[in-house]
């Protein structure tokens, strides 16, 4: 089972907090035990010192030979505190009245003068207790050799206090852990809510549907750059998908008729045995093949430029020479339709642009002007410096165009009312517009009242000084 990010973070933080609180519980518990038993042992040490003084072996000298006189809990009715004294041979020298003649557990071996030994024992009344033992050396003439003094007290109340503190500490730790788990879960859900919303929005993206970018507003600073980058990638992805679909659609649309024509011509040619008819059919098929090749190449070029696959290289380009070269290339068409071009060009016009792209733009624009201008009409080409950059204007008569056509001219395969032309697939203006945008040029067109179509191309960067 795959856990969500919130669940993983909650489990991880819960385990971490559990380890921290358990360690804290152990540390506090050890400190409490050490403090409780330390205080208890210091009390035993004080009573042991008092007993030693009373036996004449302590630093305070002899005060009394009976501890019960000063501490009533060692009397017979006390039954909570006990003491016993042994000589070097293990014989009992004295014991507390509370013992009722019963001995404390025999003391372990201890060197005279060594620090007091504290340990747990079973008291004469059968209760659990804690004892303090110390061995004192006697003068050389004393037949007892040495005295081992033991002070023991019942620790039932101490154990009860320790258990209550343990339970209180354990309950507090458990409660803190439960509250921490709830807080961690709440914080994790609240903190990761933007990420969850981002994931839900991403899961709703349909590659076959409309582009829906991710909402960046309100995202944390760590997620906003990622959402921005995802949006950029989504836009590119959807643009690529749209280009592929448009390419396939356009290709199918434009090649359907030529392919049908090719098949029909081939079938007719197979039925005739006339060599001249076969030659004519092959010529027609070759022309149709050239048309299909131009369509495919133009569509591929459009797709590459729109996708940014073909990088344009800015270099010095002389526009006047480029315009005149294109006019010479179109000279046969110009003469055939008796079109007169009125040129308003400077001697030179150097700009920073991509030479091949500019050549293709001029080829398409001037080719359209020659193809769609009526016979015996006048066309114009104006190139002038508009303060920081050159602007190119190409105008020609266009009696077949209407004002409603202006918004559709940039569309692919749009021919308006013009009759089908095998040499013009309706892609020239779309390709010129794509090449212009790739160079940062602005291309616009308009139809004036005299049905004269004019294309303007501006934004050419001048050469640096």
Count Cβ atoms below 10 Å from residue 460 Cβ, excluding itself.
24
- 139 and 34 fall within a common domain: yes
Q: How far, in Å, CA of 397 to CA of 380, rounded?
A: 10
Whether residue 359 is predicted with pLDDT greater than 80 in this model: the reply is: yes
In the chain, what is the straight-line distance between the N-terminal and C-terminal CA atoms, in Å? 68
Q: What digits encode the pLDDT tens for the residues 40-96?
A: 889 889 888 888 877 777 655 545 456 666 666 666 665 678 888 888 888 888 888
The number of distinct structural domains making up the chain is 3
Give yes or no: residues 126 and 263 share one domain: no
Tens digit of each residue's pLDDT (9 = 90 or more) over 91-122: 888 888 777 888 888 888 888 889 999 999 98
Tell me, yes or no, whether 176 lies in a domain. no
Model pLDDT for residues 227-252, shown as the tens digit of each residue: 788 878 877 777 777 767 766 666 66
Read off the CATH number of the domain in which 257 is found: 1.10.287
Question: What pLDDT score was predicted for residue 301?
Answer: 67
Question: What pLDDT sits at residue 340?
Answer: 92
| pLDDT for the residue 281 | 78
CATH number of the domain that 457 lies in?
3.30.565.10
For residues 135 and 59, membership in a common domain is answered with yes
Tell me the residue range of the domain where 94 lies.
Answer: 5-162
DSSP state of 458: E
| DSSP conformation class of 140 | T
- Tell me the C-alpha distance between 58 and 136, whole Å: 8
CA atoms of 144 and 147, how far apart (whole Å): 7
Burial class (CB in 10 A: 0-12, 13-18, 19+), 136: middle
- Which SS3 state, helix, strand or coil, does residue 154 take? strand
Range with the largest mean pLDDT of 53-62, 388-397, 404-413: 388-397
Q: Which of 290, 307, 324 is the endpoint of a domain?
A: 307
Query: Do 13 and 156 have their domain in common?
Result: yes
CB count in 10 Å sphere of residue 296: 15
Q: CA 195, CA 216: separation in Å to the nearest integer?
A: 11
360 and 379, same domain (yes or no): yes
Mean of the per-residue pLDDT values of the chain: 79
pLDDT per residue as tens digits for the range 315-340? 898 999 999 998 998 888 899 999 99
What is the spatial distance between Cα 12 and Cα 20, in angstroms, rounded to a whole number? 12
The verdict on residue 183 lying in a domain is: no
Q: Do both 329 and 429 map to the same domain?
A: yes
On whether both 236 and 252 belong to a single domain, the answer is: yes
287 lies in the same domain as 357: no
Q: Using the 3D structure, point to which of 260, 291, 307 is the last residue of a domain.
A: 307
Do residue 337 and residue 446 come from a single domain? yes
Beta bridge partner(s), residue 87: 147
Within-domain flag for 187: no
For 198-231, the pLDDT digits (tens) are 777 777 777 777 777 777 777 777 777 877 888 7
Residue 187 is encoded by which pair of tokens? 């914080």
Length of the chain: 465
Position 131 scores a pLDDT of 92
Q: Helices marked H in 57-105 — which ranges?
A: none
Residue 167 within a domain: no
Looking up residue 138, the CATH number of its domain turns out to be: 3.30.450
φ and ψ of 264, to 5 deg: -65, -45
Mean pLDDT along residues 23-47 = 89
Per the CB < 8 A criterion, the answer to whether 265 and 273 are in contact is no
Per-residue pLDDT band at 422 (split at 50, 70, 90) = very low
- Joined tokens for residue 136: 């004192």
Question: Is a pLDDT exceeding 90 seen at residue 133?
Answer: yes
Is residue 201 one of the residues assigned to a domain? no
Starting from the edge strand earliest in sequence, which strands make up the sheet with 117-122, in order? 92-95, 81-87, 146-154, 128-137, 117-122
| Residue 449 counted as domain residue | yes
Within-domain flag for 185: no
The average pLDDT across 158-178 equals 87
Domain finish residue from 277, 307, 337:
307
User: Which pLDDT does position 221 carry in this prediction?
Assistant: 74
DSSP conformation class of 413: T
Q: In this structure, are 359 and 343 located in the same domain? A: yes
Neighbours of 426 (CB within 10 A): 21
Token pair listed for 416: 């308006």
Instruction: Note whether 97 and 82 are within 8 A (CB).
Output: no
Residues 319 and 424 in one domain: yes
Confidence of residue 273 (pLDDT cuts 50, 70, 90): low
Burial class (CB in 10 A: 0-12, 13-18, 19+), 82: buried
| 100 plus 141 within the same structural domain | yes
pLDDT over 90 at 372, yes or no: no
Of 78-87, 125-134, 284-293, 449-458, minimum mean pLDDT range: 284-293
Helix pair angle (156-191, 5-54), 10° resolution: 160
Nearest residue to 247 via CA among 391, 118, 430: 430
Instruction: Find the DSSP H helices in 61-206.
Output: 156-191, 193-203
pTM, two decimal places? 0.47
Q: What pLDDT was estimated at residue 18? A: 86
Q: What are phi and psi of 84, to 5 degrees?
A: -155, 145
One DSSP character per residue, 331-347 reads: HHHHHHHT-EEEEE--S
Residue 74 lies in a domain: yes
Q: What average pLDDT does this structure show over 132-156?
A: 87
Q: What is the side-by-side order of every strand in the sheet holding 315-318?
A: 315-318, 350-353, 461-462
């Amino acid at each position: 089972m795959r856990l969500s990010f919130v669940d993983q973070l909650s489990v991880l933080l819960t385990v971490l907090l559990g380890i921290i609180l358990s360690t804290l519980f152990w540390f506090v518990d050890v400190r409490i035990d050490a403090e409780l038993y330390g205080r208890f042992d210091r009390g035993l040490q004080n009573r042991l010192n008092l007993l030693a003084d009373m036996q004449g072996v302590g630093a305070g000298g002899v005060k009394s030979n009976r501890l019960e006189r000063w501490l009533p809990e060692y009397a017979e009715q006390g039954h909570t505190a006990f003491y016993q004294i042994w000589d070097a041979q293990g014989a009992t020298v004295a014991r507390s009245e509370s013992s009722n003649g019963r001995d404390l557990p025999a003391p372990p071996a201890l060197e005279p003068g060594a620090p007091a030994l504290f340990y747990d024992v079973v008291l004469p009344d059968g209760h659990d207790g804690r004892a303090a033992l110390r061995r004192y050396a006697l003068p050389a003439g004393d037949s007892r050799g040495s005295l081992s003094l033991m002070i023991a007290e019942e620790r039932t109340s101490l154990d009860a206090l320790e258990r209550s503190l343990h339970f209180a500490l354990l309950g507090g730790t458990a409660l803190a852990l439960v509250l921490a788990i709830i807080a961690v879960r709440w914080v994790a859900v609240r903190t990761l809510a933007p990420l969850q919303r981002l994931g839900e929005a991403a899961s709703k993206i349909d590659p076959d549907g409309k582009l829906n970018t991710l909402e960046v507003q309100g995202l944390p600073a760590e997620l906003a750059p990622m959402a921005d980058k995802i949006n950029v990638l989504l836009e590119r992805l959807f643009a690529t998908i749209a280009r592929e679909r448009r390419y396939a659609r356009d290709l199918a649309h434009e090649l359907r008729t030529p392919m049908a024509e090719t098949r029909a011509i081939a079938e007719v040619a197979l039925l005739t045995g006339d060599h001249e008819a076969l030659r004519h059919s092959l010529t027609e098929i070759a022309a149709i093949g050239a048309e299909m090749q131009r369509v495919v190449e133009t569509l591929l070029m459009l797709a590459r430029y729109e996708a940014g696959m073909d990088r344009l290289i800015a270099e010095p380009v002389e526009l006047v020479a480029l315009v005149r070269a294109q006019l010479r290339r179109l000279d046969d068409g110009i003469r055939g339709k008796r079109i007169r071009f009125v040129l308003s060009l400077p001697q030179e016009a150097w700009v920073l642009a991509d030479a091949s792209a500019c050549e293709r733009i001029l080829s398409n624009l001037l080719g359209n002007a020659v193809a769609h201008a009526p016979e015996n009409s006048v066309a114009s080409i104006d190139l002038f410096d508009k303060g920081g950059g050159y602007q190119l204007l190409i105008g020609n008569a266009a009696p077949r165009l209407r004002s409603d056509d202006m918004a559709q001219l940039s569309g692919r395969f749009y021919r308006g009312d013009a009759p089908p032309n095998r040499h013009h697939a309706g892609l020239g203006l779309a390709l010129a517009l794509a090449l212009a945008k790739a160079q940062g040029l602005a291309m616009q067109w308009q139809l004036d009242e005299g049905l004269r179509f004019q294309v303007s191309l501006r934004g050419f960067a001048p050469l640096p000084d």
